[in-house]
Structure 1
Amino acid sequence: MTLEHFFQCPYCWGTISMILDASASQTYIEDCETCCNPIQLTIHFENNNLTAFEAINIEQ
């Protein structure tokens, strides 16, 4: 199952849309589509429901 999720970039505050795979919780790094800065994403699912989503900047 996939889910579309919207959040704000922690650098430029632009709105980002992502398609999330509800089959597994995960932590990974992805660049902002607008400003290209790296964002650490932490995503948790329980029973195919999004229970936690965190997008933090990576101080470089």
Structure 2
Amino acid sequence: MTLDSKPARISPVILCGGSGTRLWPLSRAGFPKQFLVLSADGSNQSLFQQAIERIR
């Protein structure tokens, strides 16, 4: 890359995985942990939604 070229576009990737066994029975196969609402600030957003907000 030279000084006069445009920088490469960076695309964020949110990794969501795991069985969530430590959060059982809240998280289960049909409702994984990344979609749980676990917010102390009352935002009413899932962990996945909070991650999206952080990268915006």
Query: Which has more helix, going by share of residues?
Result: 2
Where relative contact order (Cα < 8 A, 6+ residues apart) is larger, the structure is: 1
State TM-score, norm by structure 1: 0.21
Structure 1 or 2, whichever has the larger Rg, is 2
